[in-house]
Chains A and B, each alone.
Chain A
Amino acid sequence: DGGITQSPKYLFRKEGQNVTLSCEQNLNHDAMYWYRQDPGQGLRLIYYSQIVNDFQKGDIAEGYSVSREKKESFPLTVTSAQKNPTAFYLCASSMALSSGNTIYFGEGSWLTVV
């Protein structure tokens, strides 16, 4: 089954610990994204990457970090600096088109910090 794979689906961590969410795509897409989804707030962009070894902050990047060492992988680290990390995280990817690029989403990862 091709597409975007996020792991793990559910993750529990203690407060103060860093945690890394995995995102892998086999669609040969250049661009990848991380969104956070909270009830009533829709999807908020954390980071995005247009090409390998390059990424940009989204609207809520504080407390998060990413890397893009390979085209197919875009892991997200939720650091202890993130004040409210409990959320649903969505990874996505798209082709590098000048317009009309469709974004494809993973199934998401639930992170609960206790």
Chain B
Amino acid sequence: AQRVTQPEKLLSVFKGAPVELKCNYSYSGSPELFWYVQYSRQRLQLLLRHISRESIKGFTADLNKGETSFHLKKPFAQEEDSAMYYCALRTGGFKTIFGAGTRLFVKA
């Protein structure tokens, strides 16, 4: 079965602390993984995708096929990082499924 699991519903960290949002997936084929973010009063938007191997707003994510994970990391959290984060898996064709989301709260 195709599934995306984000085990933490809420993650609260202090400003300047490292942050890691966990994402595990289940898919027998070759996965494409994405992180989407929703800031307050804004639309859901792409943060980064694994094929680009990019760092966006200080965030990085590495696809680990052995552990079927795609955790999102940032070494020093900022208050403006507070948002809802969704991990997404694109399977065959254009089907894209999302995890339940993790709300990140960065405290001052």
B34 contacts across to A, CB distance below 8 A: 102-103
Query: Assuming A31-B94, A41-B100, is B45 touching A105 (CB within 8 A)?
Result: yes
> How many interface residues does chain A have, given as a range?
20 to 34
A25 interface residue (CB < 8 Å to B) = no
Query: Assuming A58-B95, A103-B46, is B101 touching A42 (CB within 8 A)?
Result: yes
A43 contacts across to B, CB distance below 8 A: 44, 86, 98, 101
Taking a contact as CB atoms under 8 Å apart, the answer to whether B32 and A45 are in contact is no
B69 interface residue (CB < 8 Å to A) = no
Taking a contact as CB atoms under 8 Å apart, the answer to whether A45 and B9 are in contact is no
Closest A residue to B6 by CB, please name it: A42
A106 contacts across to B, CB distance below 8 A: 43
Give bound CA distance, A59 to B99, whole Å. Answer: 13
Taking a contact as CB atoms under 8 Å apart, the answer to whether A42 and B99 are in contact is yes
The digit string for B64-95, where 1 denotes a CB below 8 A from any CB of A, is 00000000000000000000001010100111
The digit string for B9-44, where 1 denotes a CB below 8 A from any CB of A, is 100000000000000000000001010100000011
Of B9, B86, B94, B99, which is in contact with the most chain A CB atoms at under 10 Å from its CB? B94
Q: Which of A40, A100, A104 contacts B100 (CB 8 A)?
A: A40
Q: Which of B51, B94, B99, B101 contacts A94 (CB 8 A)?
A: B94
For this complex, 14 residue pairs linking A to B, each with C-beta atoms less than 8 Å apart, are A31-B94, A41-B100, A42-B6, A42-B86, A42-B99, A45-B97, A48-B95, A56-B95, A90-B44, A99-B51, A102-B46, A103-B96, A105-B43, A106-B43
Chain A interfacial positions (CB closer than 8 Å to B): 31, 33, 35, 40-45, 48, 50, 56, 58-59, 90, 94, 96, 99-107
Q: Other than the known A45-B97, A103-B36, A105-B45, what 13 A-B pairs have Cβ atoms closer than 8 Å?
A: A33-B94, A42-B98, A45-B98, A48-B95, A56-B93, A90-B44, A94-B94, A96-B94, A99-B51, A100-B51, A100-B52, A102-B49, A105-B43
Instruction: Give 6 nearest A-B pairs by CB, closest first.
Output: A42-B100, A43-B98, A105-B44, A31-B94, A102-B46, A42-B101
